[in-house]
Amino acid sequence: MSRGDEREQSPPRVRPSEPGVDPPVRSEGERAPRAAGSGLGAFAWAAVLGASVAEGGVAALAAAEDGGLAGALVGFLVGSAAVFAVGGALATFGQLLLDTEAARHAATALADAVGSGPLTFVAALAASGGAVAVSVRGGLRLLDAMTAPFALAAAALLAVGGLVVMLLVALPFARALAQRLGARARGPRAVAIVFGVLAVTVGLLAGRALPGAYLPAPVATLLALASLPLLDRPRAWLRGIASRARGFALLLAAFVAASLGAATLEGASASVRGAVLRRAPYVGNLVAFLWRATDGDGDGFSPYLAGGDCDDSDPAVNPAASEVVGNGVDENCSGSDAAPYTPPLPPAARWQVPAPQNIVLIQMDALRPDHLGFTGYDRPTSPNLDRFRQRATWFRNAYTNAPSTRFAMSSVFTGYDVRRLPYSSPRRNGFVLGPGARTVAETLRGRGYDTFGLTITYVLDHNHGLGQGFRVWRTPWPQAMWRENYPVAAEKTTDALLEYLDQRPAAGRPFFAFAHYRCTHDPYIAYERWAYGEMDVDRYDSALNYCDDQLRRVFEALDARPDRDGTAVIVFSDHGELFGEHGLTNHGRWLYEEDLRVLLLADIPGVDARAVDAPVTLADLGVTLFELGGASPPRDPDGWSLLHHIEPVPPRPLFVFNDLWVANVHIRAEAVLDWPYKLIRDVPTRALQLFDVVADPRETRNLADDESQRARRERLGSLLDAYAAYASGHRVR
């Protein structure tokens, strides 16, 4: 027999079955594979391992900032164990389900319906992932518009509808591509290439829609799936563990991983626990879910997994509870009862200005002052604000009362810390300011002022009550059409403000005009005239240039008015923005300087331009607005008039807080600034961070565990408790 005849008669070699690849035909009586779903099982376990390592890495980086190498090891263990436990349990249950006769028949029917082959399998997987992404993102938006049960039902409908649409698009494309490629579309290299393309696509597209910490896990998962078809030994090993016989052993391993991760989290330092739960997104969401499931008294806090509840039988005792001074009960689980707090009295005003004055108040949303030319930034982002600063008083160390638009605007319009105001949050990040809060617009309108306010669609849709007292409170575009108008929103706001100013006679009633600019809020838009690059920070700076150019028109129009010498012009920002500092992006995620520092420039007639170093807050701005209008300030406000700060003032503590839902994680923190030291406390975990913001402006050295700072840490912690008790007991009625 010739060698060619030998080749013709020898049985063909076959590769182990891959997802979507037709298995070889076996003769009658030939034994079937031990696990019909072992090919899918291998892929499932590759995904679990890839995601576990990636989330462990994210958690390690988060914990390393406060805990060093030991913290990084704890973070990696907690992050990887949590994802492995959940993913491993799902993969095992899926494998057990696939190893049934019913599942094999269903898989055959599905293959007949949509086709077979690796590309078809990957297309179906991509369509499923896309449908999940659509439902999650849509569901988060719906939470702001309806109750949680309705949002969940709507998200489920989005998932089903999205899956149908995406399958209708993806599967015909995959089949056509497979036919064109022929045999090459059925090999492992085709699977690897497609998964690799998916990984790159997810990394590029999702990076614009999600915070950076959410990306490593899905990208690592796709890369693990891309590499698996090319690696025979790992694929065979994963197939082996994905057998029915080992299913219960794997479930036990997942349970052990979950227990180990929970024990490690409980035993970690408070700073490491806080970092992992806040900045490792999938772990944070998982623990938040478990907190709600183990919250026995319904107060929103759990006694397990660093949930912070020191008495789960009493809903009035939890880390966010209001302290009652002197009752001997530790309501907020701080370890002791709160001491009395007496707010310091402001010094007598040593700078008088004529009142009433016209007031033009300009809000620059999410503007970081360190991105302006006159503060030393290396890009020419603000030539017009730089010129305005030459005639205005610059408050170098201005802070928001909370890094959120709804809270910051409330402080500006009332002069109070929001924790003393009557407000509610009916839909997580929604906001309703109660009628008991007297705003500056209400007060000035009662004194004969015309009150005119321009804001943005989000405020009108989600933050109610901020327009109390404005005769006009609207957007400069059709309210529902903000997306279409967003690229030219600053221009439309300026047009509307200038139109109003043109209608105001110089010798008529005084006016209070408010204009809200959102250029530097995400999504950031790059403008061709001011091109710096394609990174988020580049687009942010470009948008700042665009906004600054529109402010030029406002400043020129005001300078041309005969009543300019009787008009106070104030430009401020409500909070800052982060671009990767401390591993964070956007705003409201924590109480770091990049998020708390705000712009505050005040051109007040009768006050010479200068720079003021004393720390001030937006509540101080609120009290100042009353004074400029010739009105009495609110009763016992939290702010001091900015006019008191023109000359040196005695030091006072400043208090800030944070309350924000990010997906399923409720971020709550509070801080006190006792210049130059700032103590930050995570409400659920009681984790502490202490920084010297003058010696360490980037807050890279946490002094909370420094024994030499123990007395200061304890004093500032007691001050936080005392002020929280004061705020809850002295609410505005």
- Domain end: 675, 693, 711, which one? 675
- Domain end: 285, 308, 332, which one? 285
Residues 554 and 463 placed together within one structural domain of the fold: yes
Residues 123 and 260 placed together within one structural domain of the fold: yes
Residues of the chain with confidence (pLDDT) below 70: 1-40, 96-100, 102-125, 129-130, 136-137, 139-152, 162-163, 166-171, 173-191, 194, 198, 204-212, 235, 237, 239-248, 349-350, 663-664
Enclosing domain of residue 248: 38-285
Count of domains observed in the chain = 2
What lies within 8 Å, CB to CB, of 594 at 6+ separation is 368, 370, 576, 577, 578, 581, 582
Q: Which residue has the tokens 């409170």?
A: 473
Residues 646 and 543 placed together within one structural domain of the fold: yes
- Within-domain flag for 605: yes
- Within-domain flag for 726: no
CA–CA separation, 567 and 359 (whole Å): 6
Residues 447 and 594 placed together within one structural domain of the fold: yes
- Within-domain flag for 573: yes
Residues 144 and 244 placed together within one structural domain of the fold: yes
Residues 450 and 590 placed together within one structural domain of the fold: yes
- Domain end: 655, 675, 695, which one? 675
- Within-domain flag for 705: no
Residues 489 and 628 placed together within one structural domain of the fold: yes
The whole-number pLDDT of residue 624 equals 94
- Within-domain flag for 4: no
Burial class (CB in 10 A: 0-12, 13-18, 19+), 375: middle
Residues 243 and 99 placed together within one structural domain of the fold: yes
- Within-domain flag for 330: no
Residues 237 and 374 placed together within one structural domain of the fold: no
**Distance, CA of 208 to chain centre:** 13
- Within-domain flag for 392: yes
Kindly list the distances between the CA atom of residue 28 and the CA atoms of 21, 35, 358, in Å, as whole numbers in the listed order. Answer: 21, 18, 94
The whole-number pLDDT of residue 441 equals 96
Residues 263 and 397 placed together within one structural domain of the fold: no
Spatial contact of 130 and 162, defined as CB atoms under 8 Å apart: yes
Burial class (CB in 10 A: 0-12, 13-18, 19+), 700: exposed
The whole-number pLDDT of residue 181 equals 59
Residues 461 and 579 placed together within one structural domain of the fold: yes
| CATH number of the domain within which 371 lies | 3.40.720.10
pTM, entire model: 0.79
